[in-house]
């Protein structure tokens, strides 16, 4: 008898992945579909939905706990100040972690292929497949390859009696993990629409509570403690999400440029990420030199772009991380941030590696440092801007001609 043809499906229990189960059998000829759900900090209700749907479909279901691995990657992204077009990366960081976990299960279960329910218009198809196409397994994308629409999926689900309630994910497409919560779709697709408050779950309306000071401790660039309490990556992120979210910190409403060139309207919540990125950048400002900070901005931007693409294992990333790691050797210390009215700002920072001298910077000190005095800056001031002053003192040839013409006495008419 021929071997069983088996496929591992990235499974959420929502409309797209539910519809994919019978289609993988009918259209692609698979004998068995297994569902794999990866835990990167989603709400428990999502796992319950996945389990119930998998059971109703008769699909063997695997749940992989990848929270620690994902949390560590999120904190690593802080060392690179990873922001894409103004928001902290969340979904982009989660997808490679999820893809790797699904691949591991597929290989252990002797699957022939991997499948996802992503559309052909989004970023996630590329992030999943960047990981999967490095494996010996085939990659299947039913929604993209069959050109499925949500309307068709709803009709098909009804015809087949599939365990979905008309695509009951709600009005919006929502993706949650430890680091961020994204909300898109429905009326939010119109950039002129002002979102209702009910789209937010992690962040309260700003201004509802009194301001609060929070101290973040870093060790070699990595967040390690909150208000002096050492915490593991998952606990640290979850705690700051609740703490900063109560102050309305961490909302982003933006027009995002996807990898395929489409521009989409996205709304995000990311309280912990906002606090940690704000604090980390403030500490770097204290301990890094100007040259390090300026060059690192370029490195950080490239790191964030590769991470947005889901290419966290790209050779370039390894090279970028080498520079980032070198700069983080002295990014150890504490930063106090103030949470107030939906905003987070650094108000104090301290480190034994501070590239700072209070006596040198003080207006009350005549001597800058060592044998250097204020008067020594006179020579620098004379040279500063010298070339610009010299260039501005020269009159261009055209200007000379114009001046000559304007001063000539006009010839009297005969």
Structure tokens at 313: 């294992």
Options 150, 173, 227, 293, the catalytic residue: 173
d(CA 236, CA 67): 12
Q: Respond yes or no: is residue 16 known to be catalytic.
A: yes
Options 12, 39, 95, 330, the catalytic residue: 95
Q: Bridge-partner residues for 215, per DSSP?
A: 336
Options 12, 39, 124, 180, the catalytic residue: 124
Q: Respond yes or no: is residue 400 known to be catalytic.
A: no
Instruction: Residue 323: name the closest of 81, 68, 98, 50 by CA.
Output: 81
Q: Respond yes or no: is residue 251 known to be catalytic.
A: no
- DSSP assignment of 119-164 equals -SSSSHHHHHHHHHTTSSSEEE-HHHHTT--HHHHHHHHHHHT-S-
What strand order describes the sheet that includes 263-269?
173-176, 181-184, 263-269, 251-257
Instruction: Characterize 103-139 residue by residue with b for buried, 16 or more Cβ atoms within 10 angstroms of its Cβ, and e for exposed.
Output: bbbbeeeebbbbbbbbbeebbbbbbbbbbbeeeebeb
288 phi and psi, to 5 degrees? -95, 150
d(CA 222, CA 201): 27
Q: Contact at 8 Å (CB) between 336 and 112?
A: no
Q: Which residues are catalytic?
A: 16, 95, 124, 173
């Amino acid at each position: 008898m021929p071997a069983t043809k088996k496929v591992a499906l990235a499974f959420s229990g929502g409309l797209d992945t539910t519809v994919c189960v019978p289609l993988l059998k009918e259209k692609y000829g698979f004998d068995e579909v297994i569902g794999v759900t990866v835990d990167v900090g989603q709400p428990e209700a999502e796992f319950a939905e996945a389990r119930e749907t998998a059971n109703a479909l008769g699909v063997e279901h695997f749940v992989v706990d990848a929270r620690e691995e994902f949390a560590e990657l999120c904190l690593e992204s802080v060392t690179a100040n990873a922001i894409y077009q103004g928001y902290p990366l969340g979904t982009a960081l989660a997808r490679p972690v999820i893809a790797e976990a699904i691949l591991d299960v597929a290989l252990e279960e002797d699957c022939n292929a991997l499948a996802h329910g992503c559309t052909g218009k989004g970023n996630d198809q590329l992030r999943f497949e960047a990981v999967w196409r490095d494996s010996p397994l085939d990659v299947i994308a039913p929604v993209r390859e069959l050109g499925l629409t949500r309307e068709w999926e709803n009709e098909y689900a009804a015809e087949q009696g599939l365990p979905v309630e008309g695509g009951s994910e709600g009005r919006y497409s929502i993706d949650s993990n430890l680091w961020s919560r994204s909300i898109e779709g429905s009326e939010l697709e119109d950039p002129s629409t002002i979102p209702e408050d009910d789209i937010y779950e992690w962040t309260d309306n700003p201004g509802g509570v009194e301001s609060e000071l929070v101290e973040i401790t870093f060790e070699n660039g990595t967040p390690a403690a909150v208000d002096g309490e050492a915490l593991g990556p998952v606990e640290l992120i979850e705690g700051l999400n609740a703490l900063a979210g109560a102050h309305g910190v961490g909302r982003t409403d933006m027009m995002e440029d996807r990898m395929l060139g489409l521009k989409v309207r996205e709304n995000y919540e990311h309280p912990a990420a906002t606090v940690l990125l704000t604090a980390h950048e403030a500490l770097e400002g204290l301990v890094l030199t100007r040259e390090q900070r300026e060059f690192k901005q370029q490195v950080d931007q490239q790191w964030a772009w590769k991470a947005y693409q889901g290419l966290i294992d790209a050779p370039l990333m390894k090279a970028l991380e080498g520079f980032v790691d070198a700069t983080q050797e002295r990014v150890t210390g504490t930063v106090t941030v103030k949470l107030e009215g939906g905003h987070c700002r650094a108000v104090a920072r301290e480190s034994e590696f501070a590239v700072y001298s209070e006596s040198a910077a003080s207006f009350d000190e005549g001597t800058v440092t060592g044998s250097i005095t204020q008067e020594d800056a006179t020579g620098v001031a004379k040279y500063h801007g010298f070339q610009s002053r010299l260039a501005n003192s020269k009159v261009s040839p055209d200007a000379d001609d114009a001046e000559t013409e304007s001063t000539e006495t006009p010839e009297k008419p005969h």
